[in-house]
Structure 1
Amino acid sequence: MALPAKTECLAGAKPGGGFDVTCRLAANALLATKLIERPMPVTYMEGGVGAIAFNHVAGKRPKDGSLISAASAGSALLLAQRKFGSRDVDSVRWVAAIGVDYGVIVVNAQSPYKTLKDLVAAYQASPNDFAIGGGGAVGSQDWMKSALIAKAAGQSPKTMRYVALEGGGPVLTALEGGHIKVGAGDASEMSKHHKAGNVRILAVMSPQRLPGDLADVPTAREQGFDVDWLTWRGFYTGKEVSDDEYNQWTEAFAKLVKTPEYTAELTARGLFPFQAIGADFEALVRKDVERFRVLATEAGF
């Protein structure tokens, strides 16, 4: 089944962010593989870290089979915290995730902590001595990554000294300046700084080691901590889109992820291969929402 002649991707933020990257990944790869005949325009609808876009699709375009909207693990986190108002995981149809980034725990290059075990042991002994910085406010993805480390040390996330910063750049600056002892971030933004020796990544929050610049960095699991953080990149569409239209999208993405054009677009954006399509993706979203809800409850949200 072919996709509609005119397609559109909705990015729930300003140009240049993660939603934009997700839409551009799909638009460029689908066109390069001729799975769409015309360029796919990207429409920007900022507000509420995707909440405005989510409500727009659910409330005003629930039957529009030509539209997909970008989503991420952050969307599941916000759904878990009920940040989308009355909308929930059942308000849309989850199409596919086609890329992923992974959480990392990072310290200053001169830090005495060489492994995640070293860090967790020191944190457990004296939690008040550790300021942990991340690119986002309390309750954000970076805060949640930090909370997982606090939990691994047997400490409550409620008492964590978390410093909310404006993205990965300020986290790096704060680490290098000694203003924080630990940083939480994403592999894609931290890997080149690790390779350059500016910071030291202690662990990647992935099921297996990552390729490329981070091949030398062990996972949290390897170091004895059952801690993963996958920031998947994917898409949803309207709840009332027909099965035929929905299947057109899932079949197109199933074909796309097997192509070299997809791999090239993924690499260009610093993302890693990951596919969850149709029912598999819906199951992933539901699992994440429940997992994040437990974390949020434990943290007192």
Structure 2
Amino acid sequence: MQRTALSRITLAASCLVFASQLFASEPKRPECIAPAKPGGGFDLTCKLAQIGLKDAGLLKAPMRVTYMPGGVGAVAYNAVVAQRAKDPGTITAFSSGSLLNLAQGKFGRYDEKAVRWLAGIGTDYGAISVRADSPYQNLNDLVEALKKDPSSIVFGAGATIGGQDWMQTALIARLAGIDPRNLRYVAFEGGGETLTAMLGGHVQVTSSGLGEVTPQLAANKIRVLAVLADERLPGRLNHLPTAKEQGYDISWPVIRGFYMGPEVSDEQFAWWQQQFQQLLANGEFAALREQRDLFPLTLTGAELEAYVFKQVEQYKSLAGEFGLTQ
């Protein structure tokens, strides 16, 4: 009996010590960096964490969202590694587009092993969209116009040549027998700028993540020609056609999540990981994520790191097919 009681006391003491360590690791000034201008997918990702962590009571201090555009994530990645390596309060948004750029060496001398991958909190899907008054009613209408004259249509996307948004259109063009190099393409710093340009008539087609354009879809300002998912999405987006059902066997899921600096301590990293694990198990957060047209994904710490490393290798192979490797 004495041993049992002693064991319980020891276990309780250990739990208190661990809890106190985690409490001590809570940052005083939490910040989420969105590596683009306001209004795009990175902004959406940061604000989802900002609201979710606050509403779930997992952050005592309010999280601020700051914007660090440049190189579609390259500026932020380099700043975190070189200048904020130990910062316990900073998390930075990333997407599959970030991983595609890493696979091509677009983030400079730093590769995918230069940061600590914290949490993946949702999945988006690629989408091809036009204005609501566009003459293109479906993906085949667009492709037929491109076959007649690839230079007659201007695509807008929140990335440079070889980026995620470009890759989505390039995959469609390749399947249609069109040389992607003949497409007219305007790169913007983030999805918010791209959508604004299309609504203003400066570009005719937007390639992006679906979650970036659904607010304008709900306002009947745009038409989604194709979602790059294996099958139609559930719920209110079920009416949107996939590229596959229109004859183009393309799927492009977009992970959305966060990383931290490479020298953040294990205790500080563990604190953030625990908060996100609790958040991702929270039913209210699931509803919040659904409102932003993202789909469930629960990856933290080592699981996310393994996913990232595998995805980067796959993107290296894909980039090689298009002659994009450096």
Normalised by the length of structure 2, the TM-score is 0.75
1:68 aligns with 2:79: no
The AA in structure 1 aligned to 2:289 is L
Deviation at 1:86, TM superposition (A): 0.6
1:6 aligns with 2:27: yes
1:235 aligns with 2:262: no
Q: 1:197 to 1:23 in 2, by over 3 A?
A: closer
| Cα contact 2:119–2:259 (8 A) shared by 1 | yes
Q: 1:34 to 1:296 in 2, by over 3 A?
A: same
Match of 1:184 among 179, 182, 207: 207
Match of 1:27 among 50, 54, 63: 50
What's 2:301 paired with? 278
Structure 1 residues without counterparts, runs of 5 or longer: none
Instruction: Work out the CA distance in 1 between the residues paired with 2:36 and 2:151.
Output: 36
What's 2:201 paired with? 174
Instruction: Work out the CA distance in 2 between the residues paired with 1:16 and 1:107.
Output: 18
Q: 1:82 to 1:45 in 2, by over 3 A?
A: same
| Cα contact 2:27–2:89 (8 A) shared by 1 | yes
The AA in structure 1 aligned to 2:75 is I
Deviation at 1:173, TM superposition (A): 4.1
Of stretches 4-13 and 80-89 in structure 1, the one that deviates more from structure 2 is 4-13
Q: 1:268 to 1:9 in 2, by over 3 A?
A: farther
Match of 2:113 among 85, 90, 99: 90
| Cα contact 2:150–2:184 (8 A) shared by 1 | yes
Of stretches 53-62 and 12-21 in structure 1, the one that deviates more from structure 2 is 12-21
Instruction: Work out the CA distance in 1 between the residues paired with 2:64 and 2:131.
Output: 41
Deviation at 1:82, TM superposition (A): 1.6
What's 1:155 paired with? 178
Q: 1:229 to 1:132 in 2, by over 3 A?
A: farther
Match of 1:78 among 101, 105, 113: 101
What's 1:142 paired with? 165
Instruction: Work out the CA distance in 2 between the residues paired with 1:258 and 1:285.
Output: 22
- The SS at the match of 2:243 is coil
- The SS at the match of 1:169 is helix
- The SS at the match of 2:121 is strand
Q: 1:17 to 1:295 in 2, by over 3 A?
A: same
Deviation at 1:34, TM superposition (A): 2.0
For the aligned residue pairs, the C-alpha RMSD in angstroms reads 3.2
Percent identity, aligned pairs only, is: 45
Instruction: Work out the CA distance in 1 between the residues paired with 2:133 and 2:67.
Output: 41
Match of 2:270 among 247, 252, 263: 247
The AA in structure 2 aligned to 1:24 is K
Instruction: Work out the CA distance in 2 between the residues paired with 1:89 and 1:104.
Output: 26
What's 1:131 paired with? 153
Name whichever structure is richer in helix by fraction: 2
Structure 2 residues without counterparts, runs of 5 or longer: 1-18
What's 1:104 paired with? 127
What's 1:49 paired with? 72
Instruction: Work out the CA distance in 2 between the residues paired with 1:252 and 1:293.
Output: 32
Larger Cα-atom Rg: 2
Deviation at 1:75, TM superposition (A): 1.7
Q: 1:169 to 1:291 in 2, by over 3 A?
A: farther
Q: 1:19 to 1:149 in 2, by over 3 A?
A: same
* Count of aligned pairs: 296
Q: 1:260 to 1:150 in 2, by over 3 A?
A: same
